[in-house]
A = this chain, B = another copy of it.
Amino acid sequence: MEGRIDRIKKQLHASSYKLTPQREATVRVLLEHEQDHLSAEDVYLLVKDKAPEIGLATVYRTLELLTELKVVDKINFGDGVSRYDLRKEGAAHFHHHLVCMECGAVDEIQEDLLEEVETVVEKRWNFLVKDHRLTFHGICWRCSDNRAEESIDHKGNSKDS
């Protein structure tokens, strides 16, 4: 993790930005919550534990900066909030998401499933693809499993528990 922070520090310096303690604390929170999809407010509350004097505005400014540097991607899942998602180091494109309509869980797909589709888009629509946002809405495996169990229960055939 320290290595990752060093590399982000270099990226900042390359664009003549500084790695201030506030920025470092923010990056650490993002690294520690790599699987989550934190809103600015979420990040703010978590950073406050490390650096209680930080202001919400600084968090917003830092997240904007990290977005500009493509360290994070900003995404919106339809609730009224922007969320910030760490980009895998060296990834050319933003990863994909699975949003469960039942439990609200958001899972990530790191694999790029869109290479062929992007070729089609470039050829057929003459559109030069630079990045993408792909989110699936549906039912996650956890909720499917729960449903299956419930239907077994209803038949009186529940497994031992």
Residues of A near any B CB (own CB < 8 A): 74, 76, 78, 98, 100-101, 107, 109, 113-114, 116-118, 120-121, 125-141, 144
**A135:B133 contact, CB within 8 angstroms:** yes
- The verdict on A76 contacting B74 (CB below 8 Å), with A125-B109, A129-B136 known, is no
Contact among B113, B117, B137, B140 for A133, CB-based, below 8 A: B137
Among A109, A125, A144: residue with most chain B CB under 10 A: A125
**B109:A126 contact, CB within 8 angstroms:** no
- The verdict on A140 contacting B114 (CB below 8 Å), with A76-B76, A76-B78 known, is no
- The verdict on A141 contacting B126 (CB below 8 Å), with A133-B134, A134-B133, A134-B134 known, is yes
Among A116, A134, A140: residue with most chain B CB under 10 A: A134
Copies of this polypeptide in the complex: 2
**A138:B130 contact, CB within 8 angstroms:** yes
- The verdict on A136 contacting B121 (CB below 8 Å), with A127-B141, A128-B144, A141-B127 known, is yes
**B138:A129 contact, CB within 8 angstroms:** yes
Q: How many angstroms between the C-alpha atoms of A53 and B130 in the bound complex?
A: 44
Q: List the 7 closest A-B pairs by CB distance, nearest first.
A: A126-B141, A128-B139, A130-B138, A76-B76, A129-B138, A131-B137, A133-B135
Find the B residue at minimum CB distance from A80.
B82
Find the B residue at minimum CB distance from A135.
B133
A98-B125, A113-B120, A131-B136 are known; give 20 further A-B pairs, CB within 8 A: A74-B78, A76-B78, A98-B121, A100-B127, A101-B130, A107-B125, A121-B136, A126-B140, A126-B144, A127-B138, A127-B139, A127-B141, A128-B138, A129-B136, A130-B138, A131-B137, A131-B138, A132-B137, A133-B133, A134-B135
